[in-house]
Chains A and B, each alone.
Chain A
Amino acid sequence: MSLELLIDILIATVPLMLIFATLFAFTTWLERKALARIQNRIGPNKVGIPCTRIGLFGLGQPAADGIKMIFKEDIVPRGADRLFHLLAPILALIPAMLVLCFLPLDFPWVNEDSVKAYLLDGAVIFFFAITGLNTLAVFMAGWASRNKYSLLGGMRAVAQMVSYEIPLVLSAVIVVMMVGSLNANSIADAQAGWNWFVFTPCGFAAFVIFFISALAETNRSPFDLPEAESEIIAGYFTEYSGFKFALFFLGEYIAMFAISGLAVTLFLGGGAGPGVASLPWLSVVWFLVKIFALIAVMIWLRGTLPRLRVDQLMGFAWKFLLPLSVLNIFITGFAWHAQQLENTTITVITWLISLAILYGAASGLNQLNRSNMRPREYKYAE
């Protein structure tokens, strides 16, 4: 490997990690602020520039939290598996960081001639493969802590992530079908202008399924059962403190960015937006703006929705999202062939038929699940 290539690769990857780590710090502040406003509080507002009384709306809070995390004592339980206890937070962060390089972010400083050659043809499938490793990190953390709440959280996380990965992948299949490529860049290019897949009937349904599954995949509320504080303390990271806890936190948020980035690539047109044609660097800005729009929705949902029960969680994935996404694949085939004819009436009719089938399927599945739902039986409580 020549030195120039190495430098090109570093120029392409290091800013990516720095940008997303900075955005993570900002997002923790944003989330705390937004949740506080939803609950009619003010949220962090004291920490600003040190030694002055300038508050800056509490923007210094992430820095203060970071310093606190680094200097906190790192406690490992006596019965814990020390090696796995150490490896788990690292393994949680690496896949999340790694998948960022599959996002079609066109940074202006990247030397495209040398680095583009390394872009993978099957970026989308690699994305799903590597995000799946997160499950193992969560299990590792739960098992290594030797704490029953940790293990319960770990098992919950594994069951949840394995179940929701299927609708997640199946909803992404729709976009892959329409574009005919697994390459993230060609998927983004296919949506140039305003041809975003979220504006097609199947793309819209797939986007909703994808977003719900992404919430579950990143353990976000209302699917935050693995770390449900009212039930199992803090779930799989109960026994983590100090910087290891911070690594879990960082990994979780980077995973949120990554999966939002994939949603933007697949459904929201990638870097497409007004003014991109004249100023190419604007595409990165639009990409990040779209990611933050999705993050804002995630924060909003966290502030408003109650947590699901375990049986509801599993039933929702297997009895509702999975059949709906399989049906959506069939409808996509129909709609795609209909739209090849390039006729406005046919397009409108396709829209109506697709939406009618999807609505019927959704409400039908909903009814079917509701009638079968028995009142919960409590084994260990009255």
Chain B
Amino acid sequence: MNEVIAFWILSAVAVLGALVAVRKRNLIHGVFALLVFFAGLSGLFLLLLAEFIAAVQVLVYIGAVGVLLLFAIMLTERVAGDDGRRMTSRGWFWGVVAAAAVLAMLIQQLPPPEAAQEMQEINPSVEELGKKLMNPYVVTLEVLALLLTAALIGAVTAAQSVRMPKEEDSPE
């Protein structure tokens, strides 16, 4: 019973956060509403006893992605906080269609209640996750690490190549 109440409260928080994030014209308000949504999601993970994923949700999404978004807004020129223009939302119809399609697919894929009994065998602890990551999935992990490193180096290169010609031009 408690879990059901907690589920509804957390879901309401998440959905409201997501709605406000989409509807707000003020970008900073939108980012913070998005962070509320992430917090609600993290609470839902905690409810599923997936505490490591909940912690990572807070650490990566609220901590890193949120700060990244705020930095991006701060570093972008000509972003007004509150402009009176209406937000253009021409694609709303197709958005609704896509959302309905995803929902239908999820409902179809939902396992029957009998399967839920079997699934409790999975140990959601951090220790088990670490062993899984180090033993069967170590190659995946390394490939992901390589990908991220490549992205990082690419970002540094992209940032430097923009600045280099400017420095050469400036003395003239």
Besides the contacts A84-B28, A121-B126, A126-B51, what 19 more A-B pairs have beta carbons closer than 8 Å? A1-B2, A84-B32, A121-B52, A121-B127, A122-B52, A122-B126, A125-B52, A125-B59, A129-B56, A132-B58, A132-B59, A133-B58, A135-B63, A136-B66, A136-B67, A136-B70, A158-B70, A158-B71, A181-B127
Which residue from chain B places its CB closest to the CB of A181 in the assembled complex? B127
Which residue from chain B places its CB closest to the CB of A161 in the assembled complex? B67
User: Which chain B residues border A292 with CB–CB below 8 Å?
Assistant: none
The answer to whether the Cβ of B62 comes within 8 Å of any Cβ in the partner chain is yes
Q: Is the CB of B35 within 8 A of A120?
A: no
Chain A nearest CB from B53 CB (Å) reads: 10
Q: Is the CB of A121 within 8 A of B59?
A: no
Residues in B lying within 8 Å of A, measured CB to CB: 2, 28-29, 32, 35, 51-52, 55-56, 58-59, 62-64, 66-67, 70-71, 74, 125-127
Q: Is the CB of B58 within 8 A of A182?
A: no
Chain B nearest CB from A153 CB (Å) reads: 13
The answer to whether the Cβ of A140 comes within 8 Å of any Cβ in the partner chain is yes
Q: Tell me the complex Cα distance, A181–B59, Å.
A: 19
User: Can you identify 29 A-B contacts, CB atoms within 8 angstroms?
Assistant: A1-B2, A121-B52, A121-B126, A121-B127, A122-B52, A122-B55, A122-B126, A125-B52, A125-B56, A126-B51, A126-B58, A128-B59, A129-B55, A129-B56, A129-B62, A132-B58, A132-B59, A133-B62, A135-B63, A135-B67, A136-B62, A136-B70, A140-B32, A143-B28, A155-B74, A158-B67, A158-B70, A162-B67, A182-B126
Which residue from chain A places its CB closest to the CB of B126 in the assembled complex? A122
Q: Is the CB of B58 within 8 A of A129?
A: yes
The answer to whether the Cβ of A130 comes within 8 Å of any Cβ in the partner chain is yes
Task: Render A102-120 as a binary contact track against B, CB cut-off 8 A, 1 for contact.
Answer: 0000000000000000001
The answer to whether the Cβ of A139 comes within 8 Å of any Cβ in the partner chain is yes
Q: Which 3 A/B pairs are nearest by Cβ-Cβ distance?
A: A132-B63, A129-B58, A129-B59
Which residue from chain B places its CB closest to the CB of A143 in the assembled complex? B28
